[in-house]
Amino acid sequence: MKTLALWTILLAFLPMGLAAQFRLDWNAWVDLELSEAQANSHYFYNQIHKDHLGWRLGFSDINLVTTAQLDSSWTVQVRAQLKRNAGQALNEFLLPAAFIQYQPRQQSWRLALGRFITPFGSFTERQHPKDRTFINIPLAYSFYQNIAAQIGFATDLGETKTEIDETVLWGTTMVYYGGYTQGLRFDWDIDEDDQWIWSLAIGNSAPNILDQAFNTENWGISTRLQYRPAYFWEQGLSFGSGSFVQNSSLFNRLPSNPQQWLLGTDWRTGIGFWELTGELISAWYRSPIYDRNTSDFEQEEVRLNSLAFSSQIRYETPFLSGLYLAYRFDIMTFSKVEDQRWDEQVTAHNLGLGYKLNRFLLLRLNYLLMDKSDRPVWEQNTFRSTLTLHF
């Protein structure tokens, strides 16, 4: 399916190349990663697979992004990615983005159709390592909650192996960590000074969906309004909603599709060499309950709620251009469910250092101190460093 999509896009470019104004911009980046993690690590906790806890050096992410300028109004953008499959081997090929965009000349609105970055939240726009202060992704985008797109809510999903159709289910993140969704997107720079910016995406998934991009069972919207109250302060308000079921052998027995609602606010401020950014996201779910003992669903649905807070401070050293030091605090809490355990509170402290060696090389070091209240203290701690080569 993905290969077919890639060839379709490539073949579409060919006749476009004959057009007089056609231009193809390209960028690429490669991450070489060195990591080491503590005994209780797992990909759905701290992005380190439990089979790779020791010192590990290797390529973790390879990307090629192309933008075809068809004429002054039409562009096509495609991102091809080769990444580690759940933190294991570098063999997962993805097309995270493939969309066509229309932006009339001299107009402040744009329309995109295809697979694009979801407008929800502030982190999704930061796809390039240069825009990401830390290697580790904030909990709202990386921590797998006990709610799976195939079966809905199941207790201890991350702790107890739950296999459906020979696939181990881990649950879903609050917002898909890749930051992409599919459908139709509208952007509007409301005023000339970009003080107000509004984005809306209508597609076939809730913001947490990870795979099966064109599943027709799902629908979803996500929107973000950005306001700049002062020159040093940008505030965003986001909302997302939708269903996120995926096909499985249990699909016809599902009493209903799991639903998600998200409300979030993000901020970015700074002065001099300091920058403070953060995000608060609340998620609500209505979901079927999967009983692992009977391998079937309970009659009643469950309502769940989780809350994620992330705040980051970054200091760029004036004495050495390109060097920064940063700290990020993350916390994620979960509502109580009668007779059920939704999940346990998790906190994360990230310490980071980055240095731009030159225009093409970025070195980042990241130490994560992670505490999940039902696990041994600090046993998900992780050291990660990446050297990013980007063109």
Partner 1 sequence: MIKWTFFLLIITTNLCLAQSGSNTIRGQILLPDFSPTLLQRGKSYRSPNANRSAEKIRLDGLNVPSRNIYISLHPKSFQANIIQKDARITQREKTFFPNIVAITAGSTVYLLNEDEHYHNIYSLTPKARFNIGRRPPGNVYAKKITKVGVVKLGCDIHPEMGAVILSLDTPYFTKIKTDGTYSIPGLPDGEYELRVYHPSFRTHREPVTLERGKVMNKDINLKNKA
Which residues of the chain form contacts with partner 1 (CB under 8 A)? Answer: 17, 20-27, 29, 63, 65-67, 69, 72, 75, 77, 79, 101, 103, 105-106, 108, 110, 112, 117, 125, 127-128, 130-131, 187, 189, 193-195, 228, 231-232, 234, 270-275, 316-318, 320-322, 356, 358-359, 391
| CB 130, min distance to partner 1, A | 6
For partner 1, which is the closer residue by CB, 23 or 50?
A: 23
Q: How far apart, in whole angstroms, are the C-alpha atoms of residue 84 and residue 177?
A: 14
For partner 1, which is the closer residue by CB, 124 or 142?
A: 124
For partner 1, which is the closer residue by CB, 188 or 261?
A: 188
Alpha carbon 301 to chain centroid distance?
A: 27
Query: Is-contact 114 185, C-beta < 8 A?
Result: no
For partner 1, which is the closer residue by CB, 214 or 274?
A: 274
For partner 1, which is the closer residue by CB, 19 or 39?
A: 19
| CB 150, min distance to partner 1, A | 32
Query: Is-contact 325 347, C-beta < 8 A?
Result: no
Q: Which two tokens stand for residue 224?
A: 């973000």
3-state secondary structure of 306: strand
| CB 110, min distance to partner 1, A | 7
Supply the DSSP string of 21-71, one letter for each residue: T-EEEEEEEEEEEEEEE-TT--HHHHS--TT--S-EEEEEEEEEEEEEE-S
| CB 211, min distance to partner 1, A | 22
Closest CA to 136 of 287, 290, 350, 372: 350
For partner 1, which is the closer residue by CB, 249 or 321?
A: 321
| CB 139, min distance to partner 1, A | 24
Residue 56 φ then ψ, to 5°: -140, 130
| CB 94, min distance to partner 1, A | 15
Q: How far apart, in whole angstroms, are the C-alpha atoms of residue 211 and residue 117?
A: 14
Residue 249 φ then ψ, to 5°: -70, -15
